[in-house]
Each structure stands twice: as C-alpha cells, then as structure tokens.
Structure 1
Amino acid sequence: MKVTLSRLELVNAIGKIQSIVSSKPTIPILANILIEAHQETLTISATDLTVSMQVQMGATVEEEGGITLPARRFFQLVRELTTGEIVLHTNEEEIAFIEAGTSQFRLNGINQGEFPSLPNLAEAEKFSIGADELKGLLSKSVFAAAREDSRHVLNGVLMQIENGMATFIGTDGKRLAKVDSAVEISADHKGSYLIPLKAVEEIVKSVDTEKGVKVSLMADKIAVEHDATVLITKLLSGDFPDVERVIPAESAFTLTLHREELMALLKQVSLFTTDKSHSVQFTLSAGELTLTANSSEIGDGKVSMPVDYSGESFEIAFNPFFFHDILRHSKDETVTFGMTNPFSPGLITDSTTAQFVIMPMRLASTV
C-alpha cells in the first residue's frame, strides 16, 4: 500500500474514531486501527467488538492495500507532525513507513486479516432521519439511562419502530425519558433495538452533518451512516422494562412551571443535600411552590416561586439533580408537571412528544 494524504483531513478522521478504540482491549488487535486504501479513498476502521466505526477520506492511492497500526501511537504521531501532506506506505512484513517532509518514521503493524470483519449492510432494513432530529431524540432519552447498572438492559436506550414511528426510551429505574418521531420507513416494519450507552453517545457526538442520516436495522445490530462515516453497534440483549406501566396515564393535578426559574432554584437548594440524601422537599400551598433541603452537617436551604395552585397543601420529595436534568433537556419556556400523591411518580411534559417521569423520594430527615 502506498498513499499520499492530507494531514489535516487525517487529524479530523482520527478525532471522529479515536474514542472507539478500547483503552483496555480484550485482544491485542483491538488496540489497532485498520487502514485500507482503495481507488481514491482511504478507509479507517476501529472496533471494540461492540461498537465499530469507519471513516473515509480522499487520498492519492498509488498502491492499494491495507494494514492495522497501533491506534494510540499512530494518532499521537499524526497530531505532532507539521507538514501539510503525509506519505504512508507498507511492505510485506507489515511495517508502515510514514514520511512527512524530511521526517521519516517506521511503525510495526499487524496483518489486516486479523482485524474483525464488519457486517454487510446491504440487506438491512433502512430509514432516513434528519441529523439534528436524531441527535435530539437520543439526547432527550440517553440522559435518563443507567450507567453500569447490574441490570444491563438499562445501560442503553431502547429504540422501538412501529407504524412509521421511532420511539426512544431511557431509564435507570428512578427516572424515565420517552420521546418519539415519525421516520421514513416501511409502515409494516416493527422491531425493538436496545442500543448500548457508548454507541448512543458516539452517535450524538459524531453526527455533525446538515444532511440526513441513514439508519440500518439488523436483528442484532444497527448502523448509522452520515457523510463519510459509518457507526455500527451490537445491540444489548434482554427484556427492557414495560415502561408504559410507569408513565402516569393521568394526574390528580398539574402545574405549569417556568423552566429556567425552577432550574435556578433547584441548583440553589441542592447545595444543601448530601451524598447520602439527594432529597428536596416540594411543598405546594396556595399560589406558591416551596423547595426545602436540610442537613445536620451542612445547614438548610429554602426557596420558592409563584405557581397557579389553589388546592390543599401538598408535600412530595424528589432528587433535585434528576429533576434539573429533565428540565435541561426541555427547551420550552414552561413545562407541565403532573402529580397524584407523594408516593406516585411525577410526569413532566413540554410542547414536544417527550414524556419525562421522575420517581418520588423519601423526605430527608431533619436530624
């Protein structure tokens, strides 16, 4: 293989793919990236066996071929170079020679045949969606997903496709986010796809195109294609919880809350919670919502805001950080907050299709 390529374009490609490479690979080849030259294109691939990514860039290809190189070392070298172009060529002993101006480097590689093969997407069911819309749907659901939960099905986002609609759901058992959107797909296609957390975060981070995104659906994998980048991920296995049982069908009463004002108050009063008790008491009285938190170690805080409420006094407690996260992922000036009793989940909605559920907490002790 022998190619001449732009160093800046290579740096940009590296920036997209570097986080796919595992810091603690289970087998040595996973610490490498696959570099392939074909016609006028250089393709760089990385995988951790769960999430894989391919990035393509233009190059002047004198000899076609491929090699795998140690990702961390190669990335560091490319970033340190200062020339506009790089010449990369390999020999039969799986050694890569990198030339940048008068500088020359030799990097030992591994035969490309040892690199895990990526699936063929030709037979997959596909749908198209706007890049910003996909990022929005994933962002509004992934924040509620669990991190390293023993219930591994919660460590991801469930995507359900039915009747031309895509629904995205994330939950950690204490909060839940559900949002949906129409997609361009066969109306009779139906399926559930449990996307790992790392893959969701990589999609949100890497999708930076103004063009549409193509999503390919397979039995145990999905792929997201945009511009010259393809991300492929294996799906989590297992039964996702029946979230419809958790989402309140109706509430005893609802409030309209000013989002940014409540976010500011939650930040203030959360300073008086402890690691053992992330609990803030919400007290409703005529025309007012009061938030209180107290700790014998820290002190206490009390803030309030006007609300349109005329019922009897009502008390409930929530995790202020979870509540703030929900408000942060809504863009409306106001949100609707529905409650029934101190032991039932609250439902937060805005002008979109999003539904956010937050479980109540035990009131913090004053001792």
Structure 2
Amino acid sequence: MKFSIAREALLAPIAQVVNVVERRQTLPVLANFLIEATDEGLRITGTDMEVELVARARAEVAQNGSITVPARKLVDICKALPESVQMNVQLNDDKLAIHAGRSRFTLATLPATEFPSSDKAESLASYSLSQGKLRWLVEKTSFAMAHQDVRHYLNGLLLEFRDNGVRAVATDGHRLALAEMTAEVSGNMRSLIVPRKGVMELNRILDDIDEPLNVVLGQGFLRVDRDNIVMTTKLIDGRFPDYEAVIPMATDQALIIGRGEFTHALQRAAILSNEKYRGVRLDLNDNSVRVVAHNPQQEEAVEELEAEHSFQNLKVGFNVNYLLDALSSIDGEKVRIALRDANSSCLVTAIDSDDVRQVVMPLKL
C-alpha cells in the first residue's frame, strides 16, 4: 500500500472517525483505523462494535492495499504536522511509514483481516431526508434520553417514519421530548430506537443545511450516508413505551410567559435549589408567577415574573433542569405551559405550533 495525501485532506476525515474509537478496548484492533487504499482514494473506518463510521478521502494512490493503524496516534501526528504539508505513506512489511517534510514516523499495524466487518445485511427500507431537518429532530429531543437505565429501550431515541413525515421521541421516565416534521418520506413506514452513542454521532456528523441524506434501515441497524461519511449504528431491540398516553390532553388552562425572561429567572433560582433534586416551586396567582427555590441550608431564592394565566393559588414543583431543557428546545419569544393541577405533568409548546412538545412531570417539594 502506498499513497500521497495533503495533511488537511487526511486530518478532516480521521478527526471525525476517531470519535467512535474508544480509548479502552477489549480487542486491540478496535483501537485502530482500517485504512483501505483503492483507485478511488482512501476509505477510513473506525468502530466500537456498536457504531461504525466510514470516511472517504481523495489521495494519489500508487499501490492499493489495506491495513489497520493506531487511530489516536495517527490523528495526533496529523494535528502536529505543519499546515499544507504533503504526507507520503507506505506500508513496509508490518510497519506504516509516514514521510512529511523533514518528519518521519513509523507506526505499528495489525492486519486488515482482524478488523471486524460491518453488517452487510439487506436493507428493509430506504428514506431520503434533509440533513438539517434530521439534525433539528435530534437536537430538539435527544437531551431527554435516559442514561444507563435498566429499561434499555429508554437509552435511545425513537424515530418514526410516517406517511406525512418523521417524528422523534425521547424519555427518561421523568420527562418526554417529542418533535415532528413534515416530509415526503418514500419507503415503508417503520419505527426504530437508535442507541445513545448512535444519536450523539448522528448529531455530530449532520450539518444544518438543506442537503439530501440517504437513510437506510436494515435488520437491526440504521445507516446514514452523507457526502463523504457513512455512519452505521446498531438499533436497540425493544418496545418503546406508549408515549402518546403520557402527553397531557388538550386544555385551555395554560401559562403564557416570555421564554427568555422565564429561563433567566429559573437559572438564578437554580443556584439555591437542592443540589440532589434540583426542585423549584412555581406559585401562580393573579397573572403573576413566583419562582421559589430552597435548599437544606435553609437558603432561599425568589423570582417574581409577569405572565398570562387564569390560575389562582396554584403551587407546583418541577426539576429546574428539566424545565430549562424544555424551554431551550422551543423557538419563539413566548412559550405556552399547559397545566391542570399540582399533581399533573405540564406540556410546554410554542404559542403557535406544537411541532415540538415537551412534557415534564411534577416534583413533590
């Protein structure tokens, strides 16, 4: 194997792929990139056996071949080299020699045959989506995914491909985030649960642009192909809960409040909230809202805000972090927070749209 490539042309793809390479590996080859040199250029692959990233790069290939090399060492070498330097790379026996200007590096390798091959199973459905729209769905919902919950199906993001669009849902059992968009979805209508790491990598590789994206669903995997990078992730085998039963029924009882003003008030009150439960109390009365926080040291924070509502003497507690996450996902100057009583969940939406819906369970204080 022998090729020549500009430093920047190699650094860009390997810096993306290295994100899935874990620092601690049970299999030594999983700490490596698989580099394949062909007449079309380079193909660089990294995997942790759950998520696989494949990046393509243009290079002058003098001799085809494939090998695996230590991922982070190669990234560090590229970062340390001067800008615009040309890298000449050649495989000599079981060593990879890199010449760049006056610098010389020799890296240990492992055979390409030891690198795990990705699942080439037949696809079940294929969809074409906008990069920006899919990223929007992920950003509006992924923060509500569970962390290492024994209910493994909560440790991921539900994606539903419907007749008239795509819906994303995440919940950790204490809150729920839902976002949906209209789109012309071609292919069979299906739902799937993408694991946390797959969601994080998906968000990382997507750009906020209206460029087409090829999404392929296979038996137990999801593949996303954009430009010069392909991500394949295993799916969570489980049944997502009936989330629609959790979303509060429509009600005219609601709090209308400035999103920015409410956010800042919650952030200030959170300073003196209980560090473990992060609870704040909302006191609603006479078109006003008091945000109250206490902690075990008997310290107190109180914020007074104007708002539109018809509640009288309603006091309800919430986890302040959950409220802040919900508010950050809503666009617009004002938000609508639908409430029934102190024991029911609240529904946070924009004033004129329910494309994004955030449900937060109450907290007993």
- CA shift digits 1:141-162 (9 cap, x unpaired): 1011112222221111011122
- How far 1:124 moved relative to its partner? 4.7
- CA shift digits 1:179-225 (9 cap, x unpaired): 112333336x1222110111111111111373222111112110111
Q: Flag the 1:224–1:174 CA change in 2: closer, same or farther, 3 A.
A: same
Counterpart in the other structure of 2:202: 203
Partner secondary structure for residue 79 of structure 1: helix
Residue 195 of structure 2 corresponds to residue 193 of structure 1 = no
Q: Flag the 1:310–1:108 CA change in 2: closer, same or farther, 3 A.
A: closer
Q: Flag the 1:153–1:122 CA change in 2: closer, same or farther, 3 A.
A: closer
Partner secondary structure for residue 144 of structure 2: coil
Partner secondary structure for residue 325 of structure 1: helix
Amino acid at match of 1:61: V
Counterpart in the other structure of 1:85: 86
- CA shift digits 1:220-275 (9 cap, x unpaired): 11011111000110001112111111101223611212100000000011111122
Identity fraction in percent: 30
C-alpha separation between the residues in 2 aligned to 1:133 and 1:97? 43
Q: Is the 8 A contact 1:266 1:320 kept in 2?
A: yes
Partner secondary structure for residue 140 of structure 2: helix
With normalisation by structure 2, the TM-score equals 0.95
Residue 300 of structure 2 corresponds to residue 300 of structure 1 = yes
Q: Flag the 1:335–1:110 CA change in 2: closer, same or farther, 3 A.
A: same
- CA shift digits 1:316-341 (9 cap, x unpaired): 10011110111111121111110111
Partner secondary structure for residue 255 of structure 1: strand
Q: Flag the 1:230–1:209 CA change in 2: closer, same or farther, 3 A.
A: farther
Partner secondary structure for residue 291 of structure 1: strand
Amino acid at match of 2:198: A
C-alpha separation between the residues in 2 aligned to 1:209 and 1:243? 28
Counterpart in the other structure of 1:359: 361
Amino acid at match of 1:192: S
- CA shift digits 1:327-364 (9 cap, x unpaired): 1111211111101111111001112511110000012x
C-alpha separation between the residues in 1 aligned to 2:295 and 2:186? 56
C-alpha separation between the residues in 2 aligned to 1:84 and 1:284? 64
Q: Is the 8 A contact 2:274 2:296 kept in 1?
A: no
Q: Is the 8 A contact 1:154 1:171 kept in 2?
A: yes
C-alpha separation between the residues in 1 aligned to 2:60 and 2:124? 32
Counterpart in the other structure of 1:270: 270
Counterpart in the other structure of 2:137: 137
Partner secondary structure for residue 139 of structure 1: helix
Q: Is the 8 A contact 1:89 1:97 kept in 2?
A: yes
With normalisation by structure 1, the TM-score equals 0.94
Amino acid at match of 1:262: F
Counterpart in the other structure of 2:49: 49
C-alpha separation between the residues in 2 aligned to 1:333 and 1:73? 47
Q: Flag the 1:46–1:209 CA change in 2: closer, same or farther, 3 A.
A: farther
Q: Is the 8 A contact 1:127 1:184 kept in 2?
A: no
Q: Is the 8 A contact 1:140 1:329 kept in 2?
A: yes
C-alpha separation between the residues in 1 aligned to 2:296 and 2:16? 48
Partner secondary structure for residue 256 of structure 2: strand
Partner secondary structure for residue 224 of structure 2: strand
Q: Is the 8 A contact 1:56 1:228 kept in 2?
A: yes
Partner secondary structure for residue 160 of structure 2: strand
C-alpha separation between the residues in 2 aligned to 1:72 and 1:114? 18
Amino acid at match of 1:198: K
- How far 1:121 moved relative to its partner? 7.4
Question: Which consecutive residues of structure 2, in runs of 5 or more, have no partner in the other structure?
Answer: none
Mapping of residues 1-367 of structure 1, within 5 Å: 1-82=1-82, 84-91=85-92, 93-120=93-120, 123-186=123-186, 189-208=188-207, 210=209, 211-251=211-251, 253-297=253-297, 299-350=299-350, 351-363=353-365
C-alpha separation between the residues in 2 aligned to 1:159 and 1:123? 17
Question: Which deviates the most, 202-211 or 26-35?
Answer: 202-211
Q: Is the 8 A contact 2:336 2:349 kept in 1?
A: yes
Partner secondary structure for residue 167 of structure 2: strand
C-alpha separation between the residues in 2 aligned to 1:302 and 1:45? 53
How many residues align? The count is 361
Question: Which deviates the most, 280-289 or 298-307?
Answer: 298-307
Amino acid at match of 2:256: T
- CA shift digits 1:287-332 (9 cap, x unpaired): 1011111124151011121112234211110011110111111121
